[in-house]
Amino acid sequence: MEKNIKEKSNNNKKTKNNINSYNWYLYTQIVVTAVMVLSCVILKVNNEAVFYQVKEDYKAFFATENVYENNFSYKNFIDRIYSETKEKYDEFLQTIAYVYGKGANDTYPSNVSMVKYVPDKKGFMPVKGYITSRYGIRKNPFNSREKDFHTGIDIANEKGTFIKAAFSGNVIETGYTDIAGNYIKIQSDNNIQTFYGHIQFVFVNQGEYVLKGQPIATVGDTGLVTGPHLHFEVLHNGIRVNPVYTVE
């Protein structure tokens, strides 16, 4: 009697295990099917032509009794899907860049780079103070509804604070513009050019050689500004890069 009860109990356990295994299998099939259906819907919504091409490929693949004789290639199929997906992704990135850049009134400069450039020997931070405006796209300080690309960094400090040369090099230009105010350009030996704008007083002359850390000017508020600060730019091989990675 006890033996029969134990056998029935074991049989019940086996049955439950079989049911549980079947349920897991069923749940897995449901999830896989749901993912496939969702993928088809997304593909159809985003690129209907590709969706129907995939559909025709599957029909052609299963059209014959011996599928191994069919010339359908999984590799070609996957390569084509990858190519189409990458193309759409690239278009998406271009659209985002376009929409983001439209706020800058299409003034995104051609000679700037967002790639992090770090020189073999870092330069000297030209002036102490707070960075009030970083490199890259920003809100226009004179029109908050527009954006522009800030080609350097703004370091705020009191008018008259010493500005020092970030790198040793030749002073290739000094001058004044309505935007930058009084400015200095210095060309270094390592294909680096530095620009210092909104200067109060300039201490150096064109053609003069200056040393890294040498005082070259004082912080001012000349040109188009909202307050006294230094506008500092770094160019590597003629391309503007983020100055914060080039100095210490």
Residues facing residue 181 across a β-bridge: 177
Residue 96 host element (H or E): helix 74-102
Domain ranges for the chain, please list them.
2-102, 130-245
d(CA 85, CA 76): 14
How far from 16 is each of 12, 41, 124, 216, CA to CA, in Å?
6, 37, 74, 85
Fold of 130-245: Glucose Permease (Domain IIA) (2.70.70)
d(CA 67, CA 149): 57
3-state secondary structure of 73: coil
What number of H helices and E strands is found in the chain?
A: 3, 12
The per-residue pLDDT string of the chain (248 residues; one tens digit each, 9 = 90 and over) reads: 554 554 555 555 555 555 555 566 666 667 766 666 666 666 555 555 655 666 666 666 555 554 444 555 666 767 777 777 767 666 666 555 555 544 444 456 778 988 899 999 999 999 999 999 999 888 877 776 778 889 999 999 999 999 999 999 999 999 999 999 999 999 998 899 999 999 999 999 999 999 999 999 999 999 999 999 999 999 999 999 999 999 99
User: Which residue, among 88, 236, 7, 233, has the nearest Cα to 244 in the 3D structure?
Assistant: 233
**Strand ranges, E, within the chain:** 130-133, 136-140, 143-150, 153-156, 162-164, 169-177, 181-187, 192-202, 209-210, 215-219, 229-236, 239-241
Residues facing residue 140 across a β-bridge: 143
